[in-house]
Amino acid sequence: MDIDRPEVVAQVAAAFTAYEKALVGNDPDEIMAFFHDSPDTVRFGIADRQTGWKQQHAWRREQPPLPPGRTLHETRISTFGDDLAVVTTCFSYPGGAAVGRQSQTWVRLPDGWRIVSAHVSHPAG
């Protein structure tokens, strides 16, 4: 198995960058276009959990925009073969001391790279 082939890493990086732009832009439909449309797609959030694309989309539509100035740190993209990737990153906001964490599992499906599992956490306090 080829691990971290540069062309596959670049494809996932482009998808992740586009996802981040949609997230910061607070466009629920565009955000959800990056998730696999399946009842098995899971997202664990800071104080929430969604199972299935439909549940996540409904939740996403109710969320306020992210605070301005979101910055990513230590983003890592690991690919395994041509069709599986894990993206991890840390995020912060201006004036905030806490650093959040985010991980996503991406799979190349017939309609492109899609997130099949996501997890977001933030330290208490």
Provide φ and ψ at 119, rounded to 5°. -145, 130
Q: What is the DSSP string of 5-23?
A: -HHHHHHHHHHHHHHHHHH
Both structure tokens of 85: 């990737």
**Whole-Å CA distances, 43 to 5, 37, 57, 120, 121:** 27, 12, 11, 8, 11
Which pLDDT score, from 0 to 100, does residue 125 have? 56
> And the tokens for 77?
């993209």
Element of type H or E holding 24: helix 6-24
Task: Provide the residue-wise pLDDT of the chain in tens; the chain has 125 residues.
Answer: 999 999 999 999 999 999 999 999 999 999 999 999 999 999 999 889 999 999 999 999 999 999 999 999 999 999 999 999 999 999 999 988 789 999 999 999 999 999 999 999 987 65
- pTM (global) more than 0.85: yes
- Domain positions in the chain: 6-121
CATH fold of 6-121: Nuclear Transport Factor 2; Chain: A, (3.10.450)
The answer to whether 81 touches 70, Cβ cutoff 8 Å, is no
Look at residue 97 in the predicted model and tell me its pLDDT: 78
CA dist 96 and 41 (Å) reads 30
